[in-house]
Amino acid sequence: SVSHKPNAHAGRRKMVLLRVKREIREFVVETKTTASLEDLTTEVGSIHNLMLVAEQLAGQVKQLAKHGPMRKQPGCDDVTGELIDPIKEKSSNPDHDPLGYRVGKPPGPEVAKVLTRTADECLAVIDKKQAESKTVMRREKIQEAIANIKGAVMIAYPMNVPTHDIIRIILEGKHDIQAALPQDAVDPKSCVLWFSRKRMDRKEKLSKYCGKNEKSFLKVRLQTKSQKMPQREARLDKDAQTKMMQYWHRKNEEDKRLKENEDDDDYLNSSWANPKAYKNAFTGVRGGVKWK
């Protein structure tokens, strides 16, 4: 969808905002109507992949703070190569990794706090809430968050973590996110954007789809080249859907109770006799007003 309505950002910007969605992730980018869709789509795909890298890195750093560096082989002793008994490991080491990926020797508590805090700050940068507030996702901001994580890791491990640790692989730029997360990552050179149930042709300019209003706000979907047209989004958000299901469940239970009751006038005392009951279920209003 596209909107030309003014918003909180309209008074200080003359840029088109794109709210990009792919699966559960959303982010906002800014551009101009004159932008080449070839360049724009490539940049959107690249930012999306960088967000995935940041998310994976932050998650691993939080595990590093809890359980220390990675093992060479999951569940195996780095020295002997033998399988570790998870029951003995759990009883003898309170910091053991239940998944067996990490050695179970975390850094000191204060350093661990720094690692966790820095990882959380990185996750906040790429959080969906940024899109909800129409905050533009900038590559530089993500790179800064990743650089901060690198600094925290070097503080915790001045000699660096092992070469086989995914954290080091990511920080050294050797991580192939498309191979690691083939279902989530996209190829920036071939991915496509969908707008208003139409595939946006990478050979065109953005103005073909939104006109020349530089204050437009577009909702687009990011897909791989091979993916089909994305499904329409539900008109109700998850919260509204939950409330609606709860409402009908309560109504069905009330209907059953009334059928079992022999008092024919009992329905008059039911909340379902209230014509505004359905509306009240969504607004949080329950019951009537009582006067003393």
Residues 101-159: pLDDT tens digits? 888 889 999 999 999 999 999 999 999 999 999 999 999 999 999 999 999 999 999 99
Matching residue, tokens 């990185």: 122
**Mean predicted confidence (pLDDT) in 20-39:** 94
- Kindly indicate the confidence band of residue 253, based on its pLDDT and cuts at 50, 70 and 90: confident
Structure tokens at 194: 């969908």
On whether the CB atoms of residues 233 and 84 are closer than 8 A, the answer is no
On whether the CB atoms of residues 106 and 68 are closer than 8 A, the answer is yes
Whether 74 shows a pLDDT value over 90: the answer reads: no
Per residue in 259-270, pLDDT tens?
Answer: 776 555 555 566
- Kindly indicate the confidence band of residue 232, based on its pLDDT and cuts at 50, 70 and 90: low
What pLDDT shows up at residue 93? Answer: 66
On whether the CB atoms of residues 54 and 142 are closer than 8 A, the answer is yes
∠ CA 261-265-266, nearest 5°, is 45
CA separation for the pair 146, 56 (Å, rounded): 11
What pLDDT shows up at residue 5? Answer: 46
Above pLDDT 70, what percent of the chain? Answer: 74
Whether 29 shows a pLDDT value over 90: the answer reads: yes
On whether the CB atoms of residues 48 and 25 are closer than 8 A, the answer is yes
What pLDDT shows up at residue 227? Answer: 82
CA separation for the pair 155, 147 (Å, rounded): 13
Q: Name the most confidently modeled range: 136-150, 189-203, 266-280.
A: 136-150
Residues 6+ apart with CB under 8 A from 185: 48, 49, 52, 177, 178
Whether 99 shows a pLDDT value over 60: the answer reads: yes
What pLDDT shows up at residue 88? Answer: 60
Structure tokens at 167: 């954290």
Structure tokens at 234: 């539900």
CA separation for the pair 212, 222 (Å, rounded): 22
**Mean predicted confidence (pLDDT) in 68-75:** 80
On whether the CB atoms of residues 183 and 24 are closer than 8 A, the answer is no
Structure tokens at 32: 């101009």
Report residue 190: phi and psi, to 5°. -130, -5
CA separation for the pair 224, 37 (Å, rounded): 15
CA separation for the pair 19, 54 (Å, rounded): 19
What pLDDT shows up at residue 66? Answer: 94
Q: Which residue has the higher pLDDT, 99 or 121?
A: 121
What pLDDT shows up at residue 271? Answer: 62
